Structure 1
Amino acid sequence: MSLEINSKVPDFSATCTGGAEFSLAAHAGKNLVIYFYPKDSTPGCTTEGENFRDLHAEFAQSDCLIFGVSRDSLKSHENFKAKLEMPFELISDPEEKVCAIFDVMKMKNMYGKQVRGVERSTFVINKKGLLVQAWRGVKVPGHAQAVLDFVRTIKD
């Protein structure tokens, strides 16, 4: 089951960096960018994290919070976040519960083998908790800027 644009995103909670528990309900009244990426400290995921980091202040000006999600452990996330000096939290989803809500687990080819992994994807949830935009199969170059450009168009 995949979320439809303009549908309510079901509430969920998950462990995230900074010793916090993320809950969607706790962020009502804010625009949210939730981006899913395959693995901490890999080249594409590092570049994507840096791009969102570098635009963080501009997202904040649009009353928008950013959260990154992968299946990595909280310890891996804390190290990745510190290394890149990310000003936003990373959600740890080793049991793929958040991945399942957003339907981002896909079969992918890696070195000629079929492997199950996270499809790089980004979702924007508005202040009312509705999914207002989704990008799947994301290519990193220019993506964070495209997300910011979209967020700036959201009306309260």
Structure 2
Amino acid sequence: MLQSGDIAPLFSLPDADMETFDLASVAGKHHLVLYFYPRDRTPGCTLQAADFSDREGEFARHGCIVVGVSPDDCMTHADFRDEEGLSIRLLSDPDKDVCKLYGVWRQKEVDGVNRMGVRRSTFIIDKQGTIRHTFYDVVPRGHAAAVFELVKKLESDNAESNRKK
């Protein structure tokens, strides 16, 4: 499992518009909230995506972008985004390569049956590409607000560090 202080593994994935999101392209420019969720249109996933979308402008004002990742394909993401009025980027990882890279593809028990699935997880990555906060087995309600508070602190700590230089 990745932890605070680890360097975020680089990746590229397509989004709902089939445009590539490349983690390396945000390095030095933005903080990143990278969250993994099981699939589109489930109640928890919808709540989480809507909460992050509702706060997207606030995140942006603090130098941060938010992207969600699930194994759903690009078309499913596009339909989900459009139906729910979501504004954040949803990335498609159908081969689960990035889910595995971040250690969130795991065996879990659902209704007494063991199967593989995405562990709902969030990583806050700073502008230098270092993971600053990790959350595993996330409860969607209130999560976006808690993450936003950490991003605000991260940006103010970053500004303070730059003033001292």
Q: Same fold (TM over 0.5)?
A: yes
SS in 1 for 2:32: strand
Cα deviation 1:3-43 (Å, max 9, x = unaligned): 23112112211111223101111111200001100010011
Distance 1:125 1:68 in 2: 13
Is the CA contact 1:31–1:63 (under 8 Å) kept in the aligned structure 2?
yes
AA aligned to 1:102 is Y
Distance 2:146 2:71 in 1: 25
More helix by share: 2
Sequence identity percentage: 37
- Give the alignment of 1:100-111 within 5 angstroms: 100-111=100-111
Alignment RMSD: 1.0
Question: Runs in 1 of length 4+ with deviation above 3 angstroms?
Answer: none
1:21 aligns to 2:20 (yes or no): yes
Aligned length: 155
AA aligned to 1:26 is S
AA aligned to 1:53 is S
1:144 aligns to 2:134 (yes or no): no
Unpaired segments of 5 or more residues in structure 2? 159-165
AA aligned to 1:16 is D
SS in 2 for 1:128: coil
Is the CA contact 2:17–2:74 (under 8 Å) kept in the aligned structure 1?
no
- Give the alignment of 1:76-87 within 5 angstroms: 76-87=76-87
AA aligned to 2:10 is D
Is the CA contact 2:49–2:88 (under 8 Å) kept in the aligned structure 1?
no
Cα deviation 1:36-62 (Å, max 9, x = unaligned): 000100111011111111111111111
Larger Rg belongs to:
2
AA aligned to 1:106 is R
Counterpart residue number, 1:131: 131
Cα deviation 1:108-140 (Å, max 9, x = unaligned): 221221111001000011000111000000011
